[in-house]
Every structure is written in C-alpha cells, then in structure tokens.
Amino acid sequence: MSDSPLLEIRDLWVTYWQRSGLTLRRRPFHAVKGATLSIAPGETLGLVGESGSGKSSIANAVLGLVPAASGSIRFGDAELSAMKTRYPAAARRQIQAVFQDPFSSLNPSMTVGDIVAEPLRVHTGMSREERRARAAELLKLVSLSEEHLGRHPHQFSGGQRQRVAIAAALALQPRLIVLDEPASALDVSTQNQIINLLYERRDALGIAYLLIAHDLALVHHISDRIAVMYLGHIVEQGPAGRVYSAPAHPYTRALLEAVPLLDPARQRARRAARKAAPAVEAPRDAVSGCPYSNRCPSVMARCRSAMPAAFPVEGGGTASCFLAEDRGRARPAGEPASLAS
C-alpha cells in the first residue's frame, strides 16, 4: 500500500437513533462498530458483506450523508468526520458516488444532459454551453452519445441509466468514487458491461473506488483489496487474491460458499452440509465476544467471551478471528510473520 492513503477511516462508528413503538424514547442502533479501512490513490477496495452488515453505512459516512458517531474519516489532508454540516468544496467534489438502483437514482424530471451536468453546475463556474459540451463528452466516455442529452431517464434501459449515473459521477474528475452495489440491480449480461466500464475508467483516469457489494466472487476480479464486514465489524481484509483463494475468517469462507459451484456433485454435497448445520438468526446487537460466534462452525469457548483482535494473516491482510491468531502462533519460530498490507 502507498505511504499516504487517499481515504483513511479509523475506528468509525455510525449510530442510528430509532424510535420504538409509541414511546418517544430513542434507542441507538450501531450500524458500524469501529471500522478501520484505507484506500490508496487509484486503488479499488471491495467492501463485501450481507445486507445489514453496515457496508452502506460506511459509504454514507464517507459521502457525508450520515454523521460519524465517533472515529475519523480522513480524505487527503481533510478530516471529514469533524465537519458537522458540509464538507469543504474541495473534498466534496473529489468524492462522488454511483448507487445501486438506476431506476431510482436518476431524477425522473430532469434530462440526462442536466443530470450529468448537475455537479458541474454546482461546483464549477462553467457556462451553460460549456456544461453541455462537457456532458456530451462524458456520455461518450460511457458509450452513450450526444443525442441522448435531451432525453429523460424513463427512455433508457437499466444498464444505460447506470451509465448515465457513472457519467455524472465522473463529471468533476473525482479522485474517489463510492460504488454502492453498482451492478446488483442489473441483469447478468449488463452487470459485466458496467463492471468492465468501471474497470476501463479506473485505469484511464486513475480513480480510486470504494466498491460495495454482497457478491465476493464478482468483486474480487476488479478489487485490489477486499474488506469483509459482518454486523458492523470488519472481520477480514487483505489483498483480493488472498482473501478470495485463502479466506482466513470463517465468515469469509461462508460468503464464498454462497457462490454456486459449477460441479453439480460438489454443489449437492455442499448444500447437504449447509442444511445439516443449524440455521441461526444473526443477532442485531451481539453480546460480548465475537459477533459471528453463534453462527460460526468452528466456534471455541473464548469466542463467546472475548472479541478477537485483527490478527495478521499469511499472504497479507488481517482477520479478526482467534483461529488466525493460533495459526500465526503455530508458525515455526524464525519465520517472520507476513505483515504486508
């Protein structure tokens, strides 16, 4: 990883206050519990986890849409979590976003040209003609054409709409784009096109991505590093290849097993094993100990009482699991533990 990260998140907590029932008392719900992450310039970090794991809350906190309850979010030299109201314009325009559902993420009353030019209108002093010219240029970057400028979102397909959203995110030449499940609302053939488009743009423009997804298999192709979230905790992170091929945390392994196998016999065996294991609801507020302990197939006594720290994993990265600690200890003396990443 590079010396000075572009985005650095340290011990971030995101808390929502929920009203329960008829009473006006509000109860805290911690969506993110002490997450630490960093992204280098031009790097793609894949953030995966099941729904409700807090990955979108991290995205919202980075975008300034929800406040950080505690911890810090640094972007370049700017400390964003301290900004109570709005980010400084400089940081603001360098972080853009693409959201999941292209049928909901484009304003239906605006033309595509206006949607793509909206960030330019707000953050630059460009004239109407300049904005229009730039919007036409941006549409070409995402394989749409100038003639689409005057059309409205409802005249486009899902994939085309997502291209429009990407064009708008590229408008200000940001250094970081938060991609919140950018392909999961699309059909599979379109998914690949969008992922490839993002891939090309990243290589051409040197943008860093915070790529949020629930599908580890899809993400590992275009991510440099992967972080895995479970119930508000980052349970494992490391180089994409290592996390995918040698997952150190039992939860990461479970995520990978959710991807169907091509061999029917092996898939059948796995499904039988999954059915045999007891199904456990994920608790919203974990008790003490490891948040995964009541679902974990290799749970140990101490998992229920103590929260494992992030232990280094061979091949790079860390895993918050006592198994990773044991594996590190079992390593023959003299061989230095790999602390890369």
Partner 1 sequence: MLRLVVQRLLALVPLLFIVSVLTFSLTSLLPDDPADLIIGQWGTEQQFEMVRERLGLNEPLVPRYVHWLERALHGDLGTSFFNSVEVSDAVMQRLPVTLSLTAVSALIALLVGLAAGIAAALRPRSWTDRLATFGATIGQAIPNFWFGILLVAVFAVTLRWFPATGFTPLSSSPWEWLRSVTLPAIALGLASSAAIARQVRSAMVGVLQQDYIRAARAQGLSRRRVIFKHALTNALVPVVAVLSFQITVLLGGALIVEQVFAINGLGTLAITAVRRQDIPMIQGLVLVMVVLVVIVQLATDVVYGFLNPKARPS
> Are the beta carbons of 154 and 108 closer than 8 angstroms?
yes
Distance in Å, CB of 28 to partner 1, minimum: 17
Question: From the list 71, 113, 119, 159, which residue makes contact with partner 1 (rule: CB under 8 A)?
Answer: 119
Distance in Å, CB of 149 to partner 1, minimum: 14
Distance in Å, CB of 64 to partner 1, minimum: 8
In the bound state with partner 1, the residue whose beta carbon lies nearer, of 69 and 117, is 117
Sequence-distant (6+) residues with CB within 8 A of 244 are 216, 217, 220, 226, 256
Take residue 74 and report the two structure tokens written for it: 């640094």
Residue 180, phi-psi category: left (phi > 0), alpha (psi -120 to 50), beta (remainder): beta
**C-alpha span between 9 and 47 (Å, rounded):** 13
Distance in Å, CB of 250 to partner 1, minimum: 33
**C-alpha span between 56 and 75 (Å, rounded):** 18
In the bound state with partner 1, the residue whose beta carbon lies nearer, of 134 and 152, is 152
Stretch that binds partner 1, among 28-36, 60-68, 125-133, 322-330 (CB under 8 A): 60-68
Question: From the list 25, 84, 154, 329, which residue makes contact with partner 1 (rule: CB under 8 A)?
Answer: 154
Under the criterion CB under 8 A, does residue 57 sit at the interface with partner 1?
no
Task: Give the C-alpha distances (Å, rounded to integers) separating 258 from 38, 216, 270, 273.
Answer: 27, 9, 10, 12
Question: From the list 53, 105, 237, 320, which residue makes contact with partner 1 (rule: CB under 8 A)?
Answer: 105
Task: Give the C-alpha distances (Å, rounded to integers) separating 235 from 178, 180, 220.
Answer: 21, 19, 17
Distance in Å, CB of 152 to partner 1, minimum: 4
Distance in Å, CB of 168 to partner 1, minimum: 8
Each residue 120-149 as x (binds partner 1 by CB under 8 A) or -, in order, gives --xx--------------------------
In the bound state with partner 1, the residue whose beta carbon lies nearer, of 104 and 245, is 104
Sheet hosting strand 70-75, strand order edge to edge: 26-39, 7-19, 70-75, 78-79
Take residue 157 and report the two structure tokens written for it: 């397909």
> Are the beta carbons of 248 and 235 closer than 8 angstroms?
no
Under the criterion CB under 8 A, does residue 86 sit at the interface with partner 1?
yes
Please list every residue from 17 through 46 that binds partner 1, using CB under 8 A: 19
Stretch that binds partner 1, among 6-14, 118-126, 201-209, 250-258 (CB under 8 A): 118-126
Stretch that binds partner 1, among 99-107, 266-274, 292-300, 316-324 (CB under 8 A): 99-107
Under the criterion CB under 8 A, does residue 109 sit at the interface with partner 1?
yes
> Are the beta carbons of 154 and 105 closer than 8 angstroms?
no
Binding site for partner 1 (CB under 8 A): 19, 63-65, 86-87, 89, 92-93, 95-97, 99-101, 104-109, 111, 118-119, 122-123, 152, 154, 165, 168, 178
